[in-house]
């Protein structure tokens, strides 16, 4: 390029000097968190002709582009142009663009500067496109604040240049609104990459790094809360980080909990960057429609009095004005923006705001959105109406179970003195959800009196809610009768009861049926309740019911079926975030029962460390029996004689007509007597019968508790052992009394964990990895991890070597000694 042409670019067509700051990459003065996922995304995007970084103000658009360039990841020479008002004049825009390209090292021979501010001739664009397309390496043109270009000629010129200078020209546009380029054509051609607000939003890990970069010390849950409240919005997180500097953990958590759009610093940002730029009519629309969380266009018309809400909301989405589309075809405001709008609306007269809430409640109720409708009625102070909406639409289960978080939050603030049976039913549900059975009973008594005196008669929905809560909160003695009353009302003509009510009633009556000695009816009821809980999406309740089914089957001697229920319950509980002490005690109690009957005593003891809830007498009683059996305070026969009647009834196997373990023990006692009298054939016959009964459930305990002379007889019968390989090597590791002078083997440098001991015993029993996983109710990968740990600690490379080494060290006998009763205790 000639010197005269280069100098000519240094002034605008009007003779004003160019401002070099507009051609420098934006300098980011605040602390920046590099986000590799976005840098990689932008790197990949600039392989194509056009990249749009489009998001609301404060989303980190410019920071991303600047960080990417600072990291040296651009695919060629870079020209940066920060646009301002006035740059929409073609002559001015292209003068700056040509100057920027020249400074970046692009040779543009024959491209003359614009002569006029208001237009450029086509020859300039043609020569520029040709010159760029002939460059040896790509040119990257980054245009910041593209929204100022509007829909004028400059946008059309940029479109021309992109189409004719490709592939050597790569344009990156940074904008709060979608530029007026033909984006649809670029999408179809595969020429466009869009990086939107969703991708720019900070993840929890990125939010943690940002807060740390600003010196904010916060707990993990505080970071998650801020990421949720800000929806990952960069400016919001940065404002939060500034407010959290030099705060202790407790103060930081409180600041995060209160952080919202009503804060002065957040409000000032929104007002200056967004709201104050809106026309008065649009501001009024935003304020009036901010009373709802989700905004269908028809409801927006009702609230605003307009008829063009759908178009208006779509325009605001395109303008990245903190309006987001929802999956159901409606819209919502960004959480912090909505809070700001509500704060602004709060200065209006109370009755005006209440009128908006009443309008929203009517529309939402007519649309079948009961939870949001009740929330709007409550916001208007109409608690009776809110409660009536919930009860009459059979939605009280959402309050009881807490599954509908919105309802639970709404009615948590309802005064106790609200009148009417619907309100008392909701108060009863809240009380029962809190575990306050007495307060629930008082409220239900009030509701029943109102129903008995109602003229005309109370609705079926109200009576169904009362009987459901009555059954859910009833004690063991009344729950079955209460469930029968619920069933009577449910059988009346009308809408079927929702699955959440069926689940809570079934869970209560199923346990009650077991306590009155009906194990078959109990299992049928609990199975139906589990299906209802699944249909209602009540994961925690379903985990509890599945745990009860596991325990019931374990008590009945159906160990494999019990194991399947326990595994399913554990999976559901894990998905619901319940682990350890937080998961239903019935799960661990069932697993303890299974492990005890399969003679895995360490595992049984580990699972009995759980604690049963006060409102779960079934699990509490079973847990007490298990601990008693493990401590061997009395023989199993004596213990079973003192079991509660319902537990003894549950232990009766319906098909065999007796307790499975007792049958096996009886046959083993006969085999021992025959052995003592030298009747080997009869001994083998009784022993074989006992093993056949025990095999389907892997019921090892009675066999391993048998007298040592009978176990030795079995160990010498290779045919029986081969037929019953499920016994594995456990017979050989049941301990005998060690002579008093015998010392224990030396300990390992790094001792095995309880879990590794358990896996080692199963390895010695010649179980496969998959069989060990099933026996321990864990994944195959978990077993493999334990096996690797065992091999490392025993300094061996193969499983067989590990078993041999463990026997040399006495680890198998040691594990048995530490977890099993002595022979004298085992013999009855």
Please say if the pLDDT value at position 126 is more than 90.
yes
Buried-exposed string 736-762: b where 16+ CB fall within 10 A, e elsewhere: eeeeeeeeeeeeeeeebeebbbbbbbb
Q: Are 210 and 232 in contact (CB under 8 A)?
A: no
Domains of the chain: 3-200 (3.40.50.300), 204-259 (no CATH), 368-497 (no CATH), 499-650 (1.25.40.10), 660-732 (no CATH), 754-826 (1.10.10.10)
DSSP conformational letter for 18? P
Predicted pLDDT at 2: 45
The backbone region for 172, taken as left when phi is positive above 0, alpha when psi lies in -120 to 50, beta otherwise, is beta
Task: Please say if the pLDDT value at position 803 is more than 70.
Answer: yes
Q: Which of 568-577, 709-718, 740-749 has the highest mean pLDDT?
A: 568-577
pLDDT of residue 577: 86
Q: How confident is the model at residue 43 (pLDDT cuts 50, 70, 90)?
A: very high
d(CA 266, CA 262): 7
- Dihedral of CA atoms 596, 600, 606, 608 in degrees, nearest 10, equals 0
d(CA 501, CA 504): 5
CA–CA distance, 715 with 604 (Å, rounded to integer): 25
133 and 125 in contact (C-beta within 8 Å)? no
CA–CA distances in Å: residue 139 to residues 120, 170, 351: 21, 6, 60
What three-state secondary structure class fits 420? Answer: coil
Confidence of residue 729 (pLDDT cuts 50, 70, 90): low
Angle, helices 617-631/539-555, rounded to nearest 10 degrees: 50
Beta-sheet pairing, 139-144 with 77-82: parallel
Q: Which residue has the higher pLDDT, 754 or 221?
A: 221
Residue-wise DSSP of 215-251: T----HHHHHHHHHHHTT-HHHHHHHHHHHTT--HHH
Confidence of residue 640 (pLDDT cuts 50, 70, 90): low
pLDDT tens across 299-330, in order? 999 999 999 999 999 999 999 999 999 988 99
Selection from 282-291, 392-401, 712-721, 813-822 with the highest mean pLDDT = 282-291
Structure tokens at 790: 């065992």
CA distance 354 to 112: 65
237-288 pLDDT, tens digit each: 999 999 998 888 889 899 999 999 989 999 999 999 999 999 999 999 999 9
Q: 748 is written with which tokens?
A: 């390992």
Average pLDDT of span 35-50? 96
The answer to which of 477-491, 596-610, 727-741, 752-766 has the lowest mean pLDDT is: 727-741
Of the two residues 103 and 812, the one the predictor is more confident about is 103
Q: Which residues is 78 bridged to in the sheet?
A: 140
3-state secondary structure 555-618: HCCCHHHHHHHHHHHHHHHHHCCCCHHHCCHHHHHHHHHHHHHCCCHHHHHHHCCCCCCCCCHH
Q: What pLDDT does residue 814 have?
A: 40
What's the pLDDT band for 649 if we cut at 50, 70, 90? low
| Cis peptide upstream of residue 167 (ω within 30 degrees of 0) | yes
Q: Say how far residue 381 (Cα) sits from the centre of its chain.
A: 33
Bridge partners (DSSP) listed for residue 192: 50
pLDDT at residue 642, rounded to an integer: 53
Question: In this prediction, what percent of the chain has a pLDDT beyond 70?
Answer: 90
CA pair distance 102, 212, nearest whole angstrom: 41
Q: What is the pTM of this model?
A: 0.73
The alpha carbons of the chain give a radius of gyration, in whole angstroms, of: 37
The per-residue DSSP string of 339-381 comes to HHHHHHHTTS-HHHHHHHHHHHHHHHHHTT-HHHHHHHHHHTT
Contacts of 61 (CB under 8 A, 6+ apart): 53, 54, 55, 174, 175, 200
Look at residue 658 in the predicted model and tell me its pLDDT.
Answer: 37
More confident residue, 529 or 806: 529
- Give me the phi and psi of 234, to 5 degrees please: -60, -50
Strand-pairing partners, residue 81, are 143
Higher pLDDT, 587 or 640: 587
Residue 182 to residue 321: CA distance in whole angstroms: 21
Comparing CA positions, the residue from 39, 47, 50, 62 lying closest to residue 171 is 50
DSSP characters over 753-797 = PHHHHHHHHHHHTT--HHHHHHHHTS-HHHHHHHHHHHHHHHT-S
Residue-level pLDDT at 827: 30
Tens of pLDDT, residue by residue over 75-91, are 999 999 999 998 999 99
- Is residue 743's pLDDT more than 60? no
Confidence (pLDDT) at 644: 62
Question: Rounded CA gap, 129 and 126, in Å?
Answer: 5
- Per-chain mean pLDDT for the chain: 86
Q: What is the pLDDT of residue 524?
A: 94
Query: Does the structure show a pLDDT above 80 at 638?
Result: no
The mean pLDDT of 40-57, rounded to a whole number, is 96
Residue 511 pLDDT: 86
Reported as a single tens digit per residue, the pLDDT across 386-439 is 999 999 999 999 999 888 888 888 998 899 899 999 999 999 999 999 889 999
The confidence band for 696, taking pLDDT boundaries of 50, 70 and 90, is confident
Q: What is the pLDDT of residue 471?
A: 92
Enumerate residues 6+ apart whose C-beta is below 8 A from 659: 557, 640, 651, 652, 653
Q: What is the largest CA-CA distance in the chain?
A: 123
Residue 187 makes CB contacts below 8 A (sequence gap 6+) with: none
**How do residues 353-363 score in pLDDT, each as one tens digit?**
999 999 999 99
Lowest-confidence range among 281-290, 431-440, 566-575, 604-613? 604-613
How many other C-beta atoms are found inside a 10 Å radius of the C-beta of residue 622?
Answer: 27
Strand partners, 175: 54
Confidence of residue 761 (pLDDT cuts 50, 70, 90): confident
Question: Could you tell me if residue 657 is left (phi over 0), alpha (psi between -120 and 50 degrees) or otherwise beta?
Answer: left
Name the pLDDT band for 173 (thresholds 50, 70, 90): very high
The per-residue pLDDT for 787 is: 92
Identify the pLDDT of residue 259: 92
* Tokens of residue 624, six digits: 């007490």
User: For position 749, what pLDDT does the model report?
Assistant: 55
Place of tokens 């007519």: 366
Task: Classify each residue of 283-302 as buried b or exposed e, where b means 16 or more C-beta atoms within 10 Å of its C-beta.
Answer: eebbbbbbbbeebbbebbbb
Does residue 64 register a pLDDT over 90?
yes
pLDDT for the residue numbered 655: 37
Query: Rounded distance, CA 776 to CA 567, Å?
Result: 10
The 192-195 sheet, strands edge to edge: 77-82, 139-144, 169-175, 50-54, 192-195
Q: Which of 222, 219, 203, 197 is nearest to 36 (CA)?
A: 203
Residues 418/387, Cβ–Cβ less than 8 Å:
yes
Rounded to an integer, what is the distance from CA 730 to the centroid of its chain?
A: 41
Neighbours of 568 (CB within 10 A): 18
- Which is it for strands 139-144 and 331-333: parallel, antiparallel or unpaired? unpaired
Average pLDDT over residues 566-587: 88
What is the predicted pLDDT for the residue at 741?
A: 37
Dist. CA 32–CA 64, nearest whole Å: 9
What confidence category does residue 823 fall into, taking pLDDT thresholds of 50, 70 and 90? very low
pLDDT of residue 728: 63
> Is the per-residue pLDDT at 673 higher than 60?
yes
pLDDT at 726: 76
What pLDDT does 316 receive? 95
Tally the residues of the chain: 828
d(CA 339, CA 263): 9
SS3 31: coil
């Amino acid at each position: 390029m000639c010197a005269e042409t280069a100098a000519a670019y240094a002034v605008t067509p009007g003779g004003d000097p160019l401002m070099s700051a507009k051609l420098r990459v934006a300098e980011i003065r605040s602390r920046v968190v590099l986000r590799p996922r976005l840098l990689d995304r932008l790197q990949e995007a600039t392989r194509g002709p056009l990249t749009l970084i489009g998001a609301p103000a404060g989303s980190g658009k410019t920071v991303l582009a600047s960080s990417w360039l600072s990291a040296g990841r651009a695919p060629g020479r870079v020209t940066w142009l920060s646009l301002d008002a006035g740059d929409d004049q073609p002559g001015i825009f292209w003068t700056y663009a040509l100057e920027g390209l020249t400074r970046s090292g692009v040779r543009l021979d024959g491209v003359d500067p614009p002569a006029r501010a208001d237009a450029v001739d086509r020859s300039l664009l043609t020569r520029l496109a040709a010159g760029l397309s002939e460059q040896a390496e790509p040119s990257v043109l980054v245009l910041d604040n593209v929204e100022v270009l509007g829909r004028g000629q400059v946008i059309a010129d940029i479109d021309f240049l992109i189409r004719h200078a490709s592939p050597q020209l790569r344009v990156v546009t940074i904008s709060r609104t979608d530029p007026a380029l033909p984006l649809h054509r670029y999408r179809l051609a595969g020429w466009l990459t869009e990086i939107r607000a969703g991708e720019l939003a900070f993840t929890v890990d990125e939010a943690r790094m940002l807060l740390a970069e600003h010196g904010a010390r916060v707990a993990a849950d505080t970071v998650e809360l801020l990421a949720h409240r800000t929806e990952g919005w960069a400016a919001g997180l940065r404002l939060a980080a500034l407010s959290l500097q030099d705060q202790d953990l407790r103060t930081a958590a409180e600041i995060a909990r209160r952080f919202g759009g009503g804060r002065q610093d957040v409000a000032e940002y929104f007002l200056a960057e967004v709201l104050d730029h809106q026309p008065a009519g649009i501001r009024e629309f935003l304020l009036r429609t901010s009373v709802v969380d989700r905004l269908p266009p028809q409801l927006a018309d009702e609230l605003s009095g307009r008829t063009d809400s759908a178009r208006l909301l779509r325009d605001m989405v395109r303008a990245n004005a903190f309006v987001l589309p929802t999956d159901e075809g409606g819209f919502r405001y960004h959480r912090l923006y909505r809070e700001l709008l509500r704060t602004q609306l709060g200065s209006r007269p109370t009755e005006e705001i209440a009128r908006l809430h009443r309008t929203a409640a009517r529309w939402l109720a007519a649309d079948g959105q009961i939870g949001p409708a009740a929330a709007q009625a409550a916001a208007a102070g109409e608690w009776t109406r809110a409660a009536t909406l919930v009860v009459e639409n059979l939605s009280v289960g959402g309050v009881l179970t807490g599954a509908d978080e919105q309802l639970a939050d709404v009615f948590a603030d309802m005064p106790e003195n609200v009148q009417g049976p619907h309100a008392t039913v909701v108060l009863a549900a809240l009380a029962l959800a809190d575990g306050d059975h007495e307060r629930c009973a008082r409220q239900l008594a009030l509701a029943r009196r109102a129903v008995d005196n109602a003229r005309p008669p109370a609705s079926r929905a109200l009576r169904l809610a009362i009987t459901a809560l009555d059954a859910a909160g009833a004690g063991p003695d009344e729950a079955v009768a209460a469930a029968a009353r619920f069933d009577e009302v449910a059988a009346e003509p009308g809408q079927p009861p929702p699955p959440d009510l069926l689940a809570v009633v079934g869970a209560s009556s199923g346990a009650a049926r077991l306590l009155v000695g009906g194990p078959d009816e109990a299992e049928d009821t609990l199975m139906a309740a589990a299906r209802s809980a699944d249909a209602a999406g009540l994961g925690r309740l379903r985990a509890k019911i599945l745990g009860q089914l596991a325990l019931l089957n374990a008590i009945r001697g159906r160990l494999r079926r019990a194991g399947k229920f326990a595994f399913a319950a554990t999976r559901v509980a894990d998905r619901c975030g319940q682990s350890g002490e937080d998961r239903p005690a019935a799960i661990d109690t069932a697993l303890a029962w299974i492990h005890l009957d399969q003679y895995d005593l360490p595992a049984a003891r580990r699972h009995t460390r759980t604690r049963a809830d006060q409102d779960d007498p079934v699990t509490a009683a079973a847990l007490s029996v298990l601990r008693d059996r493990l401590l061997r305070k009395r023989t199993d026969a004596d213990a079973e004689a003192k079991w509660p009647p319902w537990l003894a009834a549950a232990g009766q196997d319906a098909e065999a007509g007796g307790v499975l373990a007792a049958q096996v023990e009886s046959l083993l006692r006969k085999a021992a007597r025959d052995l003592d009298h030298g009747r080997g054939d009869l001994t083998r016959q009784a022993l074989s019968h006992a093993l056949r009964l025990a095999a389907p459930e892997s019921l090892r305990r009675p066999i391993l508790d048998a007298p040592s002379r009978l176990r030795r007889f079995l160990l010498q019968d290779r045919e029986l052992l081969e037929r019953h390989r499920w016994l594995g090597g456990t017979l050989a590791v049941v301990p005998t009394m060690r002579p008093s002078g015998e010392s224990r083997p030396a300990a390992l440098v790094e001792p095995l964990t309880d879990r590794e001991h358990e896996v080692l015993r199963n390895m010695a029993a010649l179980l496969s990895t998959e069989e060990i996983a099933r026996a321990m109710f864990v994944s195959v990968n978990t077993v493999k991890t334990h096996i690797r740990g065992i091999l490392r600690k025993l300094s061996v490379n193969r499983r067989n070597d590990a078993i041999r080494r463990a026997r040399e060290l006495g680890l198998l006998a040691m594990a048995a000694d530490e977890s099993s009763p002595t022979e004298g205790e085992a013999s009855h």
